[in-house]
Amino acid sequence: MSLRTNYPGKPERVYFFGTCLIDLLYPEAGLAGMQLIQREGVQVIFPQNQTCCGQPAWNSGYRNEARSVALTQMQCFQQEFPIVVPSGSCAGMLREHYPEMFSGTPQHSAALAFSSRVYELTEFLTQVLRVKLEDLGKPVKVALHVSCSARREMGVSGAHQALLQQLKNVELLEPERKEECCGFGGTFAVKHAEISAAMVEEKANALLATGAETLVSGDCGCLMNITGNLNHRKRDLPGCHIATFLWERTNAAEH
Amino acid sequence: MQQSIDFHHRVGSALHDPQIRSNFRQAMDGLMYKRQHSFPDADELLRLRLRSAEIRINALSRLPELLEQLETRCSENGIQVHWAETTEQANAIVLDIMNRHDAGMLIKGKSMVSEEMELNHYLEQHGVTCLESDLGEFIVQLAGEPPSHIVAPAIHKSRQQIARLFSEKFPEIPYSDDVDTLTRSAREILRRKFHAAPVGLSGVNFAVAETGTLCLVENEGNGRMCTTIPPVHIAVTGIEKVVEKLSDIPPLLSILPRSATGQHITTYFNMISSPRKPDERDGPQEVHLVLLDNGRSRIYQDEQLIATLRCIRCGACMNHCPVYARIGGHAYGSTIPGPIGSILEPQKAGLEQFGDLPTASTLCGACGAVCPVQIPIPNLLNRLRYERVRQDHTGATPGQGSQRNPWEARIWSSWRWMHANPWLYRLGTRVATGLRWLIPQRLGAWTRVRSAPRIAKKSLHTLARQKGFTHE
Ligand code: SF4
């Protein structure tokens, strides 16, 4: 695992990999991510043939299935543009695990080249586009939950934080045990439902205890898990993807 | 699938036991805090982890050669070396030494390998009494339980629970739940036994091939007593514990206690290099080293899985594991619990028995991030998830493919069909968004503690098209 330290200058075009979870459940987050990039004068390409990074099968041990889905993705991002992903988890899959997935196969070098072009959204906004955000929103207290892959695999918790800190009316609150997993883990949440339930409940409580009005996360898996639990318990802490949050607070048309 | 039912059952009872939950949570919070504060400099920590990993990788890459060298040096020093391929053989070797000395009692320092061998049980069956002298091990032995943590075996018990246990087992000692008083009582009981025991047993943290030195890290001094007071000392260890040279020890010794308990150095560090020499006044007359394989040489064959053998048993991965913190060590049902147990045990005992362990993780990566020898635990968990369902039977892990279930396999093959055919995927999402009202509000285990996710009116594919984002 190697965290990226060298970043290129601003490109003319980028690819956007929306992720399957965003596609079906949180499309506004994907759109917001694309708009945040577009606003910086970069053309955003959304290949219509993209589906899923393959992580669910890969993490369940179904490697052949994962590989064939991964190949489909690699085929729709063929040109040399950066690939931006609004999820630490899927970005981690594309960047860290594709090379492993194809090691020993004829596609290995293609996978390496592909993965070197992958950026997590907040990483791309801060390190490549160096965005300057102007907060147009009302004062608000926000709790940030950084997904485990965003934090550990992609090393972008700082980027999440830096973007939120650019917003002058946002007060960023830190939950207890902020580094601990929310208990989602894909199929884990179903296979080991009881452990997952114990984890998400404690995570939700820690977030509630901050007194925040909004929960923000860079990963929709965590969001779906945590807000799902909060809703189920009728707790009033709405959550949204960091891209949605940033876009809504900085886009004049929304205010 | 009995093992799976048993695992879920143990998990369920741990999760519903508030005492277990709070004992582990508090203890793990404390250990994480201490570790963090013992590594104030992140760069230094990274350098030290790199160095430690390098030492272990080097040792494993030359394992057969280093083991031979270790045997030669130990023999030259007068340490008798025994090889055991299985735990049965290792047990028999220990029993044989006991019998040769007509020894009816064994006093033990902490040794996870002896737990792996189930040595106490074996020896008791053959009329030998075993006495654990490590405080934590002493407590779990009194309670008739296995250890729940590799560094702190009785961590699942609160002070009050230990006090009740003591007063039940030693009615002559007045009840107290004061830690110092409890420790003092245990020490008095044990000290008498040390002088009576004919044979002492210990584990080994590092075995140095260059010099034939057995290194033992401990805090209570019981390790030193077990290895010096009785006339015979038996050290048991896994074959992977060897390191090349003496100069490999300082980095490992610097990182092990800090990772484990946040201590910069343990109270005791023993380097055992021979039995008592003619001009020496103390020390055992005989020292034996039992080197156990038990599947390790098989793990060694696999280019990726060999990383499992780097482990220096610091316990940091379990201390930082959000799953372990909630279910505790006993739920795993294995000698070694937590993330390292979840990769090691299925490889040793087979996936039939421990096929659930690699799945009992969110792959959050906390374990890999703290491991002092940089074992990529999440990647190895993932690899074993593959081993448990793969069909080609070419890997070395026992029980390969044993957890494959046709129903699950069919789901993944439909998933592949759907996601490897973009037109089908788009059709699927159109149907799902169109019929989103039909999605049930109850989705099995998911909705037991969560509301069901809501499908959007339009997919991102549709929105992107409508907003004019080009697709190539
Ligand atoms: S796997 Fe790493 S963190 Fe876990 S016990 Fe072994 S050395 Fe320590």
Interface test with B, best of A24, A67, A240 (most B CBs within 10 A): A24
Distance CA B68, CA A128 (A): 54
Residues A168 and A217 in one domain: yes
Taking 90 as the threshold, does the pLDDT of residue B189 lie above it?
no
CA dihedral sign of residues B304, B305, B311, B315: positive
Q: What is the DSSP string of B3-70?
A: HHHHHHHHHHHHHT-HHHHHHHHHHHHHHHHHHHHH---HHHHHHHHHHHHHHHHHHHHTHHHHHHHH
- State percent of chain A over pLDDT 70: 99
Average the pLDDT over each of B118-132, B178-192, B271-285 and give the range with the smallest value: B178-192
Mean pLDDT along residues A123-151: 98
Residues A124 and A149 in one domain: no
Diameter of chain A measured on Cα atoms: 54
Residues A24 and A109 in one domain: yes
Per-residue pLDDT at B194: 82
State residue A161 phi and psi, 5-degree precision: -65, -45
Among residues A85, A102, A128, the one where a domain terminates is A128
Distance CA B15, CA B5 (A): 15
Taking 50 as the threshold, does the pLDDT of residue B438 lie above it?
yes
Domain encompassing residue A55 = 13-128
Whether the Cβ atoms of residue B329 and residue B337 lie closer than 8 Å to each other: yes
| Residue of higher predicted confidence among A63 and B190 | A63
Residues A73 and A148 in one domain: no
Distance CA B55, CA B309 (A): 12
Q: What is the pLDDT of residues B409-420, one digit of tens each?
A: 999 999 999 999
For residue A133, tell me if it sits in a domain.
no
Residues A56 and A93 in one domain: yes
Taking 90 as the threshold, does the pLDDT of residue B2 lie above it?
no
Q: What is the pLDDT of residues A46-95, one digit of tens each?
A: 999 999 999 999 999 999 999 999 999 999 999 999 999 999 999 999 99
The residues in A 204-243 lying below 8 A from B, measured between CB atoms, are 224-225, 228-229, 231-232
Helix/strand/coil percent split, chain A, to 5? 50, 10, 40
Distance CA A197, CA A225 (A): 9
Query: Distance, CA B259 to ligand 1 centroid (Å)?
Result: 9
Residues A176 and A206 in one domain: yes
- Chain centroid to CA B400: 21
The residues in B 366-405 lying below 8 A from A, measured between CB atoms, are 366, 368-369, 376, 379, 382, 385-390
Per-residue pLDDT at B327: 98
Per-residue pLDDT at B120: 98
Contact: B456, A49; criterion CB under 8 Å: no
Residues A78 and A178 in one domain: no
Taking 50 as the threshold, does the pLDDT of residue B197 lie above it?
yes
Burial (Cβ within 10 Å: 0-12, 13-18, ≥19) of residue B64: exposed
Whether the Cβ atoms of residue A59 and residue A186 lie closer than 8 Å to each other: yes
Residues A67 and A147 in one domain: no
Q: How far is A18 from chain B (nearest CA, A)?
A: 7
Per-residue pLDDT at A80: 96
Q: What fold, for B1-38+305-398?
A: Fumarate Reductase Iron-sulfur Protein; Chain B, domain 2 (1.10.1060)
Per-residue pLDDT at B190: 87
Per-residue pLDDT at A2: 59
Among residues A94, A128, A162, the one where a domain terminates is A128
The residues in B 402-441 lying below 8 A from A, measured between CB atoms, are 408-409, 412-413, 415-416, 418-422, 425-426, 429, 432-433
* CATH for A170: 3.40.50.1860
Task: Compute the CA torsion angle B370, B376, B378, B383 (nearest 10 deg).
Answer: -160
Residue A60 with chain B: CB contacts under 8 Å:
385, 389, 408, 412
Q: What is the pLDDT of residues A25-42, one digit of tens each?
A: 999 999 999 999 999 999
Tally the C-alpha atoms within 13 A of residue A48's C-alpha that lie toward its C-beta.
16
Q: What is the pLDDT of residues B347-387, one digit of tens each?
A: 999 999 999 999 999 999 999 999 999 999 999 999 999 99
- Show the tokens assigned to B184: 């003092």
> Which CA distances in Å does A149 have to A97, A139, A185, A201, B417?
12, 29, 10, 20, 27
Query: Distance, CA B152 to ligand 1 centroid (Å)?
Result: 14
A152 touches chain B (CB under 8 A): yes
A88 touches chain B (CB under 8 A): no
pTM of the predicted model as reported, rounded to 2 decimal places? 0.97
Residues A54 and A95 in one domain: yes
CATH number of this structure's domain B45-153+194-294: 3.40.50.10420
pLDDT band at A215 (very low <50, low <70, confident <90, very high): very high
Distance CA B453, CA B451 (A): 6
User: Would you give the DSSP letter of residue B373?
Assistant: T
Q: What is the pLDDT of residues B46-58, one digit of tens each?
A: 999 999 999 999 9
Q: Cβ < 6 Å from ligand 1: which residues?
A: B 311-317, 340, 370-373, 375
Among B365, B420, B429, beta carbon nearest to A24: B429
Among residues A81, A98, A128, the one where a domain terminates is A128
Length of chain A: 255
Per-residue pLDDT at A1: 45
For residue A110, tell me if it sits in a domain.
yes
Per-residue pLDDT at B196: 86
Of A138, A44, A38, A156, the residue nearest A95 (C-alpha)? A156
Taking 90 as the threshold, does the pLDDT of residue B392 lie above it?
no
Tell me the domain boundaries of chain B.
1-38+305-398, 45-153+194-294, 406-466
Indicate whether this complex's ipTM tops 0.95.
yes
Q: How far is B14 from chain A (nearest CA, A)?
A: 10
Taking 80 as the threshold, does the pLDDT of residue B35 lie above it?
yes
How many domains, in total, are found in chain A? 2
Average the pLDDT over each of A125-139, B86-100, B109-123, B188-202 and give the range with the smallest value: B188-202
Residues A144 and A243 in one domain: yes
The mean predicted confidence, pLDDT, of chain B is 95
